[in-house]
C-alpha cells in the first residue's frame, strides 16, 4: 500500500521513525511529511500568513522512505503532502506514533489527530496512533499493531473514509490484553498558568494543564432514542479500555453537529437580521 505518515512530535521523533520503518519493512510504500519541530496541541491549525517550507530529509529514515521536514503545522504537513509532494494519493494517512495519550476530549486539541483528520476530510481513510505514556519509549508494540490493522481484511477497507483513533497502553506486547472498538470518554484538565519574567523584566505565562478527572462512563444523552442509548452503553469508552490494558480504537469524523441540539431547536425561530 501507499501510506502517508505524519505526526505532531516532529520529524526526528522516535515514534514516527519507528512507525515508518515498521511499515516500510512490511513492504508498504511510505512517504513521511512531518513538522520540523514539535507541534503538539496545535489542533487543526493551518499556516495562512507566511510561506510553508519543505526540506527533503535523507539521514533519518531507512533507504526507500521519502521524507520531508515541513515548517508548518501537522495539518499543513498532510495538506502539502497531498497537494504538492506526493505523486499519487495515498491509500492511508497514518499520524503518529504520538508520545502520550489522545483520549476523550484530547482529540479536539491534538495535532496528531488533526493530521489524520485532514486525510479523512479528503476522502482518505486515516489512523491516529498514540502511546499512552510520556515516559515509555518502546513504540514497537504500537507500530506492529498499526501494521496488523492496515492489513486486517475482516475490517478493512472501511465502508466510508473514517479516522480511527488508536491508543496503545504502555505495556509489553505480550501484556496487551487485545483491542476493543470504543467511544470517546472524557478527560478534564485544570489549567495552570505559571507567571514568569523574561530577561528584560516583562511578564509572560507558561501553560501546563494537568488531568484532574478521567470519566470512564461518558454521559449518554438522554434525548437519544432508547435503542441508541442501550447500544452505546454496551460500548466501552477509550479511557476505560486503556485502564484495563486493551488497545482502544475509536472511529471519528469531522462532523461536529449536535444532533440533539437540532431536535431541541426545531421549533425555535431565530431572530432575523436587520434589513
Cis check: omega of the bond before 213, within 30 degrees of 0: no
What percent of the chain lies above the pLDDT cut of 70?
A: 90
Q: Are residues 142 and 115 in the same domain?
A: yes
pLDDT at position 219 is: 62
Q: Are residues 109 and 178 in the same domain?
A: yes
Q: Are residues 60 and 98 in the same domain?
A: yes
Average pLDDT on 241-255 reads: 94
Pairing between strand 126-131 and 163-168? parallel
Please tell me what DSSP assigns to residue 100: S
Q: Are residues 130 and 235 in the same domain?
A: yes
Please say if the pLDDT value at position 10 is more than 60: yes
Q: Are residues 79 and 114 in the same domain?
A: yes
Q: Is residue 65 part of a domain?
A: yes
Q: Is residue 271 part of a domain?
A: no
Query: What are the distances in angstroms from CA 6 to CA 9, 19, 70, 93?
Result: 9, 10, 10, 8
Q: Are residues 148 and 244 in the same domain?
A: yes
Q: Are residues 149 and 202 in the same domain?
A: no
- What is the reported pTM? 0.90
Categorize the per-residue pLDDT at 226 as very low, low, confident or very high, splitting at 50, 70 and 90: confident
Q: Are residues 35 and 157 in the same domain?
A: yes
Please tell me what DSSP assigns to residue 82: I
Q: Is residue 38 part of a domain?
A: yes
Categorize the per-residue pLDDT at 157 as very low, low, confident or very high, splitting at 50, 70 and 90: low
Q: Is residue 268 part of a domain?
A: no
Q: Are residues 140 and 212 in the same domain?
A: no
Categorize the per-residue pLDDT at 221 as very low, low, confident or very high, splitting at 50, 70 and 90: low
pLDDT at position 160 is: 77
Q: Are residues 41 and 145 in the same domain?
A: yes
Q: Are residues 212 and 107 in the same domain?
A: no
Q: Is residue 272 part of a domain?
A: no
- 131 forms bridges with which residues in the sheet? 99, 168
Please say if the pLDDT value at position 250 is more than 90: yes
Q: Which runs of E-coded beta strand occur in 72-182?
A: 92-99, 126-131, 163-168, 179-181
CB 5 within 8 A of CB 85: no
Average pLDDT on 57-83 reads: 95
Q: Is residue 140 part of a domain?
A: yes
The H or E element spanning position 14 is helix 14-25
Q: Are residues 58 and 119 in the same domain?
A: yes
In the chain, the number of structural domains is 2
Q: Is residue 59 part of a domain?
A: yes
Q: What is the CATH number of the domain that holds 63?
A: 3.40.1210.10
Structure-block grid coordinates of residue 236: 466501552
CB 20 within 8 A of CB 97: no
Pairing between strand 66-70 and 29-35? parallel
Domain that holds residue 199: 186-220
Q: Is 24 helix (H, G, I), strand (E, B) or coil?
A: helix
Amino acid at each position: 500500500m501507499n501510506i502517508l505518515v505524519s505526526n505532531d512530535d516532529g520529524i526526528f521523533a522516535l515514534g514516527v521513525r519507528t512507525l515508518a520503518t515498521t511499515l516500510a519493512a512490511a513492504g508498504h510504500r511510505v512517504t513521511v511529511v512531518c513538522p520540523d519541530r514539535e507541534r503538539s496541541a496545535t489542533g487543526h491549525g493551518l499556516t495562512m500568513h507566511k510561506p510553508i517550507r519543505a526540506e527533503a530529509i535523507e539521514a533519518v529514515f531507512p533507504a526507500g522512505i521519502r521524507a520531508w521536514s515541513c515548517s508548518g503545522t501537522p495539518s499543513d504537513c498532510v495538506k502539502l503532502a497531498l497537494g504538492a509532494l506526493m505523486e499519487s494519493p495515498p491509500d492511508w494517512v497514518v499520524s503518529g506514533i504520538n508520545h502520550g495519550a489522545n483520549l476523550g476530549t484530547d482529540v479536539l486539541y491534538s495535532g496528531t489527530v488533526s493530521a489524520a483528520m485532514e486525510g479523512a476530510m479528503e476522502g482518505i481513510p486515516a489512523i491516529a496512533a498514540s502511546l499512552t505514556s510520556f515516559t515509555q519509549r518502546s513504540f514497537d508494540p504500537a507500530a506492529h499493531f498499526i501494521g496488523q490493522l492496515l492489513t486486517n481484511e475482516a475490517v478493512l477497507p472501511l465502508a466510508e473514509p473514517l479516522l480511527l483513533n488508536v491508543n496503545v497502553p504502555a505495556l509489553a506486547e505480550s501484556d496487551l490484553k487485545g483491542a476493543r472498538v470504543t467511544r470517546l470518554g472524557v478527560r478534564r484538565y485544570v489549567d495552570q498558568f505559571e507567571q514568569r519574567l523574561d530577561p528584560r523584566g516583562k511578564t509572560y505565562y507558561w501553560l501546563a494543564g494537568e488531568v484532574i478527572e478521567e470519566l470512564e462512563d461518558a454521559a449518554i444523552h438522554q434525548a437519544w432514542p432508547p435503542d441508541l442509548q442501550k447500544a452505546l452503553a454496551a460500548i466501552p469508552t477509550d479511557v476505560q479500555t486503556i485502564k484495563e490494558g486493551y488497545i482502544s480504537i475509536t472511529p471519528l469524523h469531522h462532523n461536529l453537529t449536535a444532533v440533539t441540539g437540532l431536535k431541541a431547536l426545531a421549533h425555535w425561530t431565530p431572530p432575523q437580521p436587520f434589513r
